[in-house]
């Protein structure tokens, strides 16, 4: 059974409005252990979809089932949020305490978990995101990438089955983006946490099991990274920035030079040398 099943979902912020819905006829399944990346330009509906997965919003039509629980039923809200953690774009909006360890402990404390178990979860979570030893640091003294990793640790401490990350690298410099992406990939591959990663950076989809492309509130493509990255012209039409290696490979193909379906610079070099 899918961990998350989205069946015929529409969503409108103004239900009685004649404006185009934010989401239209969304159908998607995410299996336990998946690394799913949802890409789209601004206004594509990807962040709205992220909020629906964590019951911050509820579908206007259709159903979202999380581990057998329908998000439309109010009695399921807290159970679903324990299963699906959420990380937002700006870590400053998610960090609430004056030192790192208190911030990571905030969620488990609200669950009434015993203090010795909280201590263990805090230390383990910080170690998982590469922030061991930062327990006593003030969040405002950390870099953007470090702050985002602390925010992820706070979600991990709740022990969810799935983490939804809504553009967690959008406000970070290249080094911060690299740190966060390495953390996300580690949690998925080594800790078997299901990841739903929302982004407009196509290169962040390279390691995904499944890539979902959105435009104007609809899913227009979904598949493995190699099959999606081959659709260069279609992706440009929806204002996505194509990774340089992928664009070069497509240029070579159009000039009758045989090149494999590639995802990275290294793969491009190996293909043409």
Please give the chain's pLDDT, 273 residues, in tens.
689 999 999 999 987 777 889 999 999 999 999 999 999 999 999 999 999 999 999 999 999 999 999 999 999 999 999 999 999 999 998 898 999 999 999 999 988 899 999 999 999 999 999 999 999 999 999 999 999 999 999 999 999 999 999 999 998 999 999 999 999 999 999 999 999 999 999 999 999 999 999 999 999 999 999 999 999 999 999 999 888 888 888 888 888 888 888 888 888 888 887
In a domain, 238, yes or no: no
* Residue 177 included in any domain: yes
Is 262 among the domain residues?
A: no
pLDDT on residue 262: 82
Scored b (16 or more CB within 10 A) or e, 179-199 reads bbbebbbebbeeeebbbbbbb
**CB within 8 Å of 110: residues ≥ 6 apart:** none
With contact defined as beta carbons under 8 Å apart, do 55 and 80 qualify? yes
With a CB cutoff of 8 Å and minimum separation 6, the contacts of 263 are 206, 225, 226, 229, 243, 245, 246
Number of domains in the chain: 1
Domain CATH number, residue 176: 3.40.50.300
**Residue 161: how many other CB atoms lie within 10 Å:** 17
- Quick check: is 251 in a domain? no
In a domain, 72, yes or no: yes
Contact 67/161 with Cβ under 8 angstroms?
yes
Residue 260 lies in a domain: no
Strand, helix or coil at 47?
helix
Q: Which domain holds residue 57?
A: 2-224
SS (H, E, C) 107-175: HHHHCCCCHHHHHHHHHHHHHHCCCCCCCCCCHHHCCHHHHHHHHHHHHHCCCCCEEEEECCCCCCCHH
Q: Which residue has the tokens 């979809």?
A: 49
Three-state DSSP at 227 gives helix
**35 domain-assigned:** yes
**231 part of a folded domain:** no
């Amino acid at each position: 059974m899918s961990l998350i099943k989205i069946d015929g979902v529409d969503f409108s912020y103004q239900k009685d409005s004649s404006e185009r819905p934010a989401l239209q006829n969304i159908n998607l399944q995410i299996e336990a252990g998946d690394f799913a990346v949802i890409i789209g330009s601004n206004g594509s509906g990807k962040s709205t979809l992220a909020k629906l997965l964590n019951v911050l919003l509820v579908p206007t039509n259709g159903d979202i089932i999380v581990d057998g629980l329908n998000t439309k039923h109010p009695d399921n809200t807290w159970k679903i949020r324990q299963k699906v953690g959420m990380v937002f774009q700006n870590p400053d909006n998610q960090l609430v305490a004056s030192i790192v360890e208190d911030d990571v402990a905030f969620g488990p404390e609200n669950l009434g978990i015993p203090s010795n178990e909280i201590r263990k979860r805090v230390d383990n979570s910080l170690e998982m995101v590469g922030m061991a030893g930062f327990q006593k640091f003030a969040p405002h003294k950390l870099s953007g990438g470090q702050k985002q990793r602390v925010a992820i640790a706070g979600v991990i401490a709740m022990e969810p089955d799935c983490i939804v990350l809504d553009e967690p690298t959008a406000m970070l410099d290249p080094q911060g983006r690299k740190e966060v992406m390495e953390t996300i990939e580690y949690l998925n591959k080594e800790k078997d946490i299901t990841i739903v990663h929302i982004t407009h950076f196509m290169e962040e989809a390279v390691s995904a099991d499944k890539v979902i492309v959105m435009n104007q509130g609809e899913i227009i493509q979904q598949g493995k990274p190699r099959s999606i990255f081959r659709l260069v012209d279609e992706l440009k039409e929806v204002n996505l920035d194509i990774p340089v290696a992928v664009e070069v490979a497509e240029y070579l193909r159009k000039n009758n030079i045989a090149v494999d379906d590639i995802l990275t610079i290294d793969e491009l070099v190996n293909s043409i040398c």
